Amino acid sequence: MQAAVQRPKRLTGTITPPGDKSISHRAAIFNAIADGEARIDNYGPGADCQSTLRVLRALGTQIDGKGSSFTVCGGILQEPADILNTGNSGTTTRLMAGVLAGQSFLSVMTGDRSIRSRPMGRIVEPLRLMGAEVDGRDGGTLAPLTFRGGSLHGIEYRLPVASAQLKSALLLAGLFADGETVLAQPALSRDHTELMFRAMGAKVTEDGLSVSVKRARLHAVDVSVPADISSAAYWLVAAVCHPDAEVTIVGVGTNPTRTGILDALQAMGADVSVINERTEGGEQVADLVARSSQLHATEIAGDLIPRLVDEVPILALAACFAKGTTVIHDAAELRVKESDRLQATSKELSRMGASVEELDDGLRITGGRALTGAACRSYADHRIAMTLGIAGLLASGETTIAAAETASISYPSFWEELAGLGDGATS
């Protein structure tokens, strides 16, 4: 599919993004290994979240219902009859590695071409230290990965990067391990796992940057998934960069470990209001209102990066409309996502006339250059495709995005909702 986008005279509307990907994955996986039955509402509709359900069903988990609401009957997982396919989902792959490492049966897990090229050594190494029998291509650094069961024991381990996926995989393995698993983080990352573990009866202890867990059986708990702030980010940037816009995004999860996008936009002078704040299912939720703004450059680096790592491409677009030079550092992790997101962002925004310089660990963006529509590539990366869609709303002329359907990995209705904000998109 090729999407064609033009800048509308005005952007206005109300949007409810899909359920949060991170919370959706965890709600399904944790309830699958828990005692009891739980209902999950507003589950993320994207292909990644569906990959998690497919894997769990292959492991014998009973999931009743269709669409965004269903029940999960938890209990003991069963040896799969076939290879487990996680599709394009890094979250499914890494979190399920922590689960499968603690099972007594043989399992093999693989994914699409992107997953098979992404680094798995940072997961495999600590799991092996815990006693797991894990193997894979290139010494266990690449999928497919094989898990042969084993008796796990807790370890003290310093995470090499602030990664919620790595942290969560090891905390999951810790549920099946003798003793205590203690993880030292270089910086805080999203804490959805810790929050949900506590709600499900596990003892999770946090002390500064340290987090630990002991062997436990989880108890099933109902989850109503808030809207994904990473998906909301596209509409926030569209509104603050467009000269005549006001967009309301409803029911967005505002967990402090995920709101780096709001902090970065605030530092740039964006007019974004956080209203109707409340707590739903243990997670903070609010509505967001974004309006046309005069932006100025800022620096995005350090401890802020783990809180907005998925939003770096769309923040780079915002920086194109900011006065001065914005610098993004400490984001080298983006080179091993579905694409090399630093390279893809630099190439495609430059193609549209932006001044974007690729750095080893980030980007340097000098704002003030008007964007012009161009023929762009998505690199089969949903976040690049959606960033370019928003760029098309802000550029003169027409922007086309090849392989635009990849947005469905996280946001199946993205192009329809983009068209609904103005007369800007066709497909």
Q: Measuring CA to CA, which residue among 221, 191, 170 is closest to residue 36?
A: 221
Secondary structure class of 89 (helix, strand, coil):
coil
Q: Is the pLDDT of residue 131 over 60?
A: yes
Residue 217 pLDDT greater than 70, yes or no? yes
Confidence of residue 66 (pLDDT cuts 50, 70, 90): confident
Choose among 189, 216, 190, 184: nearest CA to 203: 216
In this prediction, residues 6-21 reach a mean pLDDT of 96
For the residues 130-134, what does the mean pLDDT come to?
97
Q: Which of 252, 321, 328 is nearest to 292 (CA)?
A: 321
Instruction: Inform me whether the pLDDT recorded for 178 exceeds 60.
Output: yes
Which domains does the chain show, CATH number per domain?
Answer: 3-18+227-426 (3.65.10.10), 21-214 (3.65.10.10)
Task: Grade residue 149 by pLDDT with cuts at 50, 70 and 90.
Answer: confident
pLDDT recorded at residue 427 = 44
What mean pLDDT, rounded, does the chain reach? 96
Confidence (pTM):
0.90
- What is d(CA 224, CA 221) in angstroms, rounded to the nearest whole number? 10
Which pLDDT does position 282 carry in this prediction? 77
Handedness of CA 26, 49, 307, 183 (dihedral sign): positive
Catalytic residues: 310
pLDDT band at 238 (very low <50, low <70, confident <90, very high): very high
Pairing assessment for the beta strands 142-147 and 107-110 based on DSSP bridges: antiparallel
The widest CA-to-CA distance across the chain, in whole angstroms, is: 62
- Alpha-carbon distance 260 to 148, whole Å? 39
CB within 8 Å of 212: residues ≥ 6 apart: 174, 180, 181, 182, 183, 204, 205
Can you tell me the distance from the alpha carbon of 32 to that of 24, in angstroms, rounded to the nearest whole number?
A: 12
Residue 423's pLDDT is 53
Task: Return the pLDDT at 345.
Answer: 98
How far is CA 51 from each of CA 29, 154, 424, rounded to the nearest angstrom?
A: 11, 29, 31
Mean pLDDT of 96-107: 97
> Which tens digit of pLDDT belongs to each residue from 398-420?
999 999 999 999 999 999 999 99
236 three-class SS: helix
pLDDT of residue 280: 81
**pLDDT above 90 (res 84):** yes
Predicted local confidence at residue 150, as pLDDT: 77
Of all residues in the chain, what percent carry a pLDDT higher than 70? 99
- For residue 190, give the amino acid letter: R
Q: Is 369 exposed, middle or buried (0-12, 13-18, 19+ CB in 10 A)?
A: middle
Mean pLDDT, rounded, for 177-193? 96
Average pLDDT estimate for 18-38: 97
List, for residues 243-294, the tens digit of each pLDDT value.
999 999 999 999 999 999 999 999 999 999 999 999 887 789 999 999 999 9
Q: 302-357 pLDDT, tens per residue? A: 999 999 999 999 999 999 999 999 999 999 999 999 999 999 999 999 999 999 99
The band of 425, judged by pLDDT with boundaries at 50, 70 and 90, is very low
